[in-house]
Structure 1
């Protein structure tokens, strides 16, 4: 089937997709495939499966995955992956395939209980009430603690989390920015770290 479709890709385009040319199918491969020198290592069946799922979603006309994937009682992981590769090959005139590595922090886990997190909020309030001239720091720390509590409650602010940390380069050298710096009242040189 794959070879036949490839030989007649334009004739059968309308049976699979509504677009002209090729659409890019891109999947994250961080943690699945890794480079070891000049070799690519990792879980290739998982990578192929993710490409097939994403490609199947992009095919507007039919469910090619259920039609052409090897899904019999005798199917092994190898035969399933082989059938998926053939499926991707069949659609190569309509799609290009790409894997990319994601940067950043892939996952955050807030441990403890909600009571722990609200207790932390209360401790920040109590520190402020002691009037220890720490407002330069607590003004930065307080909103971060509140956001962490909201996250623990399930109210996730993706924009907040996207700004956890960044490296910025200047003529005087790179600096670390982002709200994670709110946990540090002082710079390494002992000077106050302010906004």
Structure 2
């Protein structure tokens, strides 16, 4: 399998990798490939413009930016929008749990589980399909980012609790039946 820097060169042979600005990069931080801007979507566009760089965007990057702005809008109007999203008053508590420790638990899976809980308690559960990106470029990290954004969007309607189940995984009682 070709390394990603070679894939970049094959996709954009006329653009040196050092002249490529991307909004996201999942190559593990290789110094020989294009690097992601840490400045968000608009910052990446401005960096590319000011540096005369080739700009590479994914639809997921645009979608997450739209979701973030929608979150700001919805949070600023949470009570007037309440009837569009939920049937309950106040905040409904939602809880998800997973087995593990702080070092081993899959926080992405917990976020997606919370997204499912939110969806199950919305007036229209199919909104989950709208919230989550579904592009050919979508990664698991994109879905987790969208789920976290949905949690921020719905924070006036739900409170969130994450449980990490741990303890004694197995008890063995030694001895005989007579003991």
Q: TM-score, normalised by structure 1?
A: 0.49
Size of the alignment, in residue pairs?
Answer: 109
Equivalence for 2:105: 42
Q: Is the 8 A contact 1:52 1:88 kept in 2?
A: yes
Would you identify which runs of 4 or more consecutive aligned residues in structure 1 move more than 6 Å? Answer: 103-107
Equivalence for 1:6: 75
> Residue 105 and residue 15 in structure 1: after superposition, are their counterparts in 2 closer, same or farther (change >3 A)?
farther
Query: Quick one: higher RCO (CA 8 Å, sep 6+), 1 or 2?
Result: 2
Q: Is the 8 A contact 2:119 2:126 kept in 1?
A: yes
Counterpart-to-counterpart distance in 1, 2:143 and 2:102: 24
Larger Cα Rg: Structure 1 or Structure 2? 1
Q: Is the 8 A contact 1:28 1:101 kept in 2?
A: yes
Which stretches in structure 2 are left out of the alignment for 5+ residues? 1-69
Counterpart-to-counterpart distance in 1, 2:162 and 2:178: 41
Is residue 20 of structure 1 aligned with residue 89 of structure 2? yes
Equivalence for 1:88: 151
Counterpart-to-counterpart distance in 1, 2:147 and 2:87: 22
Which stretches in structure 1 are left out of the alignment for 5+ residues? 108-164, 166-179, 188-195
Q: CA RMSD in A?
A: 2.6
